[in-house]
Amino acid sequence: MKRIVSVLFALVMLLATVGCNSAPATAPNTTPATTAPATVPATTAPEVTLPTFGGADLLLGDVAGWFTAASLEGSNTLVKLYNILADIEAELDVHISTFPVSTDVFSQAQPVLMSGEKYADAVHDYVWTMGDFWMANLLTPVSDLPYVDLTAEWWLDGAMEVTTLNGKTYGVAGDIYPAVEAAYYLFFNKNMAEDLGLPDLYQLVKDGKWTLAEFEKCIKAATRDNGDNVWTMEDTYGFCGPDGTIDQGFFVAAGGSFFENQEDGSVRISVNDADNVALIDKLTAILRDGGYRYNYSGGEDWIWTVQSGFASDKFLFCAHSAMATKWYWPDMSSDFGLIPMSKADENQTEYYSYADHNVFTLYVPIHANKEMAGAFLQTLGKRGHEELMPIFWEDYEMNLLRDEESFENFKMLSSQLRFHHLTTMLGVPNNGLYAGTLSAFINTMATPGSSFSSFYEAGIEVTRITMEELSAYFE
Ligand SMILES: [Ca+2]
């Protein structure tokens, strides 16, 4: 099989902000775990002997409060993470001080780092916040740290691939905050599917026949006007989801790639390859021009729309990260299921799930205590794998998803995530520009009838410039 490394970097800043930071804090009704296991289960990974640090302070920048007590309510996973941190303090004999960082962490950190002071021993933030540090040469490669075993099973290879340049890996993502949760899926309303007489979607997925053509048949069947010829929330639609990024999700799921890693380590623009262009055209026809999608009106609160529209049987499908099961639909009255975004066609051998810019990454700014940062990351990764993941999976299997088929799909896709690495490199200021343009490639929300070729040409040009700038940074 042709290996396609998706390094698509389209990032919609607005969505990143709204989608993550403003998400409702509604949490499932779960009882926090009370105790951490006293012993760590045996692992098959290579053992690394870690030092202790005599009670030294370890500074951890934490974007979303995942590691802090304030987040404990309602999430067994976060309770576990908190307990893991306490265990690490004991294991390494460190005192961990977490402090809040924002997605604008760079502007906070830069003056400190430029003055030669330590900012943090590690930062946990969205992957796209790495870029400014990277560009300013203010990161210590994780691959240069002692004690960190980057071959360990708890670090995601795909995520490391997109934070690696010239043989140095700058960020890790893995079982500490599972990327699978931030990846994209199709949720479908089972009651609507049944009423419409749709085929068994789970079976189509299992048979490898869940293709864009099948998806189009389903969304076409679901889209109904209530008779007034005006498309509003009074009608029903084939699908809905966050603007822009879900289109990229469909693109990646169907095997598309904006960039490809080359044998020699360089990155090639591949979006203008014939197969990608054909796929973009196909997606545009289905996702935009088909008229099966709920289009937000100006100023609309799309979070509310996604949440309420799917929950109240307005959309057959909603494309979203798995977090929607926590935030939006814990109490949805209609039943729902989780399936992959469609394959391009039956020739595509695997389903993919696009792990977007909201994947969390750990990175280490310069002036960190390298010994401590390395030991910390190693311990965190290992404990995350052994102690946190079982709870994470259990939560999805028992509480958040509604049936075993959904859970099987979720597990399957956890090993078929696709990352894209220019998000990592570009950083906040550049992202606004490049993301906007790249979104335009496949922003099927764009006005129907507008010139897709003009988006495409603009996108190619900006992509070319981006690549030139990046090469200049990393020569
Ligand atoms: Ca209507």
Q: How far is the CA of 234 from the centre of ligand 1 (A)?
A: 6
Q: How far is the CA of 447 from the centre of ligand 1 (A)?
A: 19
Residue 36: exposure state from Cβ atoms within 10 A (0-12, 13-18, ≥19): middle
Terminal CA-CA length for the chain: 32
Q: Domain residues for 157?
A: 31-181+357-400
422 within a domain of the structure (yes/no):
no
Residue 169: exposure state from Cβ atoms within 10 A (0-12, 13-18, ≥19): buried
List, in sequence order, every beta strand (DSSP E) within 101-170. Answer: 122-126, 139-140, 164-165, 168-169
Are 263 and 310 members of one domain?
A: yes
Q: How far is the CA of 290 from the centre of ligand 1 (A)?
A: 16
405 within a domain of the structure (yes/no):
no
Q: How far is the CA of 227 from the centre of ligand 1 (A)?
A: 6
Q: How far is the CA of 449 from the centre of ligand 1 (A)?
A: 21
Q: How far is the CA of 294 from the centre of ligand 1 (A)?
A: 12
Are 194 and 286 members of one domain?
A: yes
pTM (predicted TM-score)? 0.82
Q: How far is the CA of 119 from the centre of ligand 1 (A)?
A: 55
Q: How far is the CA of 232 from the centre of ligand 1 (A)?
A: 6
Q: How far is the CA of 58 from the centre of ligand 1 (A)?
A: 58
Q: How far is the CA of 236 from the centre of ligand 1 (A)?
A: 8
Q: How far is the CA of 224 from the centre of ligand 1 (A)?
A: 8
Are 149 and 195 members of one domain?
A: no
Report the pLDDT value the prediction gives residue 188, as an integer from 0 to 100: 98
82 within a domain of the structure (yes/no):
yes
- How far is it, in rounded angstroms, from Cα 366 to Cα 368? 5
Domain count, the chain: 2
- Please choose, from the candidates 354, 466, 472, the residue with its C-alpha nearest in 3D space to the C-alpha of residue 413: 354
Report the pLDDT value the prediction gives residue 160, as an integer from 0 to 100: 85
Please state at what angle helix 422-442 crosses helix 274-283, rounded to 10 degrees.
60
Report the pLDDT value the prediction gives residue 29, as an integer from 0 to 100: 34
- How far is it, in rounded angstroms, from Cα 453 to Cα 440? 10
Are 234 and 144 members of one domain?
A: no
108 within a domain of the structure (yes/no):
yes
Q: How far is the CA of 226 from the centre of ligand 1 (A)?
A: 5
408 within a domain of the structure (yes/no):
no
Are 90 and 125 members of one domain?
A: yes
Are 302 and 345 members of one domain?
A: yes
412 within a domain of the structure (yes/no):
no
Position of tokens 């929300």? 445
Q: How far is the CA of 269 from the centre of ligand 1 (A)?
A: 42
Q: How far is the CA of 193 from the centre of ligand 1 (A)?
A: 20
Are 263 and 337 members of one domain?
A: yes
Report the pLDDT value the prediction gives residue 10, as an integer from 0 to 100: 26
Are 323 and 376 members of one domain?
A: no
Are 306 and 215 members of one domain?
A: yes
pLDDT along the chain (475 residues), means of 10: 27 28 33 39 64 97 79 75 94 96 91 97 90 86 96 90 81 87 95 98 98 98 96 94 78 85 70 81 85 81 90 96 91 96 97 86 96 97 95 94 98 91 53 48 46 54 63 54
Tokens of 354: 């696009």
Are 254 and 333 members of one domain?
A: yes
Are 470 and 395 members of one domain?
A: no
- How far is it, in rounded angstroms, from Cα 7 to Cα 10? 9
- How far is it, in rounded angstroms, from Cα 192 to Cα 313? 7
